[in-house]
Structure 1
Amino acid sequence: MNYVSSAVAFLLDAANWTGTSGIGMRMLEHLYYSGIAVAIAVAVGLPLGLALGHTGTGSSAVIALSGALRALPSLGVLTWLALELPLGVQIPLIPSTVVLLLLAVPPVLAATVSGVATVSNDVVDAARAMGYSETQIITRIELPLAAPTIVGGVRSCVLQVLATATISAYIGLGGLGRYLLDGLAVGDYTSTIVGAILVTVLALVADLVFSVLSTAVQPKGLNR
């Protein structure tokens, strides 16, 4: 219990929020690493998922592969990539981003494929009968109807990445993982609790934001 109270006191001390190694900077670094991975995951997973969901080709295999990628040991893969990738040691952001992408892409891709696949065939056929092109069907029919499911996938992606980005500190990067890694190295358990609390707070805030967003993108016709 003393460690918890010490962690709370650390968080409430304004002096710990400033400087290059302060809480504020560590949070910005953590969000930076996470943001890169999430942005790339959405840029890759969303269009690919829309295409696969629209055609129905290989959707089952994609969902199965997504589940398999989530089971990879992130820390082990990070260490291997840091050693094997060109410039992996010199530019640790590269292996860190690759590892986070392995976690970030699957939920976005799977949710997009599933969301599009659940759109009624009758609705799609009606759109074709009205002269919609395949691109218009995807962007004007399937994407809006699948939006809540897609947002749910991005939500899962963000939460997983925020939680896992702490391992970036293992190969010399910053972020909230520094509190966990450095604290464990010297037996400073107050520091590890501080890191855990901050990651949890970030995840809770992100979860709340996406909860609101999920409701906002719900088609009004379906709400009624």
Structure 2
Amino acid sequence: MNWLVDFFGNAANWSGPDGIPLRVLEHLVFAGLSLLLAVVLAVPLGLWIGHTGKGAVLVVLSANAARALPTLGLLVLVVLLMGVGTLAPVLIPLVALAVPPILVNTYEGIRGVDPELRDAAYGMGLRGRQVLGGVLVPVALPLILLGMRTAAIQVVATATVAAYVGLGGLGRYIIDGLATKDYPRAIGGAVLVAALALAVQGLFALVQRVTVSPGVSGRQRIR
């Protein structure tokens, strides 16, 4: 506890290029960009595979890749191939980490919609895209958001690897603290990463409450 007081109680840690606000912002930029790119790649693909049933093997491969992906190893490989000085060495492994849970959950969410509901939508004269956007996605939204939340927490926790290639973020405190045996700094950085992950989880819970229909989420009031 004294170490945390030493770190967070030091005014020097709250300002300047190595201050907590700037490091948190850098960490959010790494994680946010990675998650955004992963959503852009995985959600449309998951919707298409779940709706058409084609390419399901990609989902299986993606799920297996999520278990076997060595993020730090991939980071080192990208750095060796591309060098440092840009965000690419960090974004590529983080996007690769985030895509599988989003893709799998989006696919499972669409595929798991009650077939009778799908048939009823077609029976009403709706076309494929109308059925997907107006019926399947709203029903599958809780599972889709769950995949995004899982990916976001993983990315926030793993974005500390940016420090290995000389970039900023909260990993700077952990890496530099361990290297110089400044343990209050290392522990403070770890606490900030954990707090940020919890904040992201809370944010997605709020988003789900706001965006998911009460009838789908089970919050429908009984009159």
TM tier relative to shorter chain: over 0.9
Aligned to 1:203, which of 192, 197, 207? 197
Is 2:136 the partner of 1:139?
A: no
Deviations 1:32-65 (A, max 9, x none): 0001000011111111110011012233541442
Identity across matched positions, percent: 43
Spell out the pairing of 1:49-128 with structure 2 (5 A cutoff): 49-59=46-56, 61-85=58-82, 88-91=83-86, 93-128=87-122
Hey, what does 1:28 align to over in structure 2? 25
SS in 2 for 1:89: coil
Q: Contact (CA 8 Å) 2:6, 2:184: kept in 1 or not? A: no
Code of the aligned partner of 1:51:
W
Q: Contact (CA 8 Å) 2:66, 2:101: kept in 1 or not? A: no
Is 2:12 the partner of 1:15?
A: yes
Is 2:145 the partner of 1:148?
A: no
SS in 1 for 2:16: coil
Q: 2:168 and 2:68 mapped to 1: Cα distance?
A: 25
Q: 1:214 and 1:83 mapped to 2: Cα distance?
A: 40
Shift of 1:131: 1.1
Is 2:176 the partner of 1:182?
A: yes
SS in 2 for 1:32: helix
With normalisation by structure 2, the TM-score equals 0.92
Q: Contact (CA 8 Å) 2:3, 2:184: kept in 1 or not? A: yes
SS in 2 for 1:136: helix
Q: 1:79 and 1:47 mapped to 2: Cα distance?
A: 29
Q: 2:160 and 2:202 mapped to 1: Cα distance?
A: 21
Q: 1:70 and 1:217 mapped to 2: Cα distance?
A: 30
Aligned residues: 218
Shift of 1:212: 2.4
Q: Contact (CA 8 Å) 1:163, 1:199: kept in 2 or not? A: yes
Shift of 1:215: 3.0
SS in 1 for 2:168: coil
Distance change (3 Å), C-alpha of 1:11 and 1:63? farther
Alpha-carbon RMSD across the aligned residues, in angstroms, is: 1.5
Unaligned runs of 5+ in 2: none
Unaligned runs of 5+ in 1: none
Shift of 1:20: 1.2
Deviations 1:84-104 (A, max 9, x none): 13xx3232x101100001111
Q: 1:22 and 1:43 mapped to 2: Cα distance?
A: 32
Q: 1:101 and 1:66 mapped to 2: Cα distance?
A: 14
With normalisation by structure 1, the TM-score equals 0.92
Q: 1:50 and 1:72 mapped to 2: Cα distance?
A: 24
Q: 1:209 and 1:109 mapped to 2: Cα distance?
A: 21
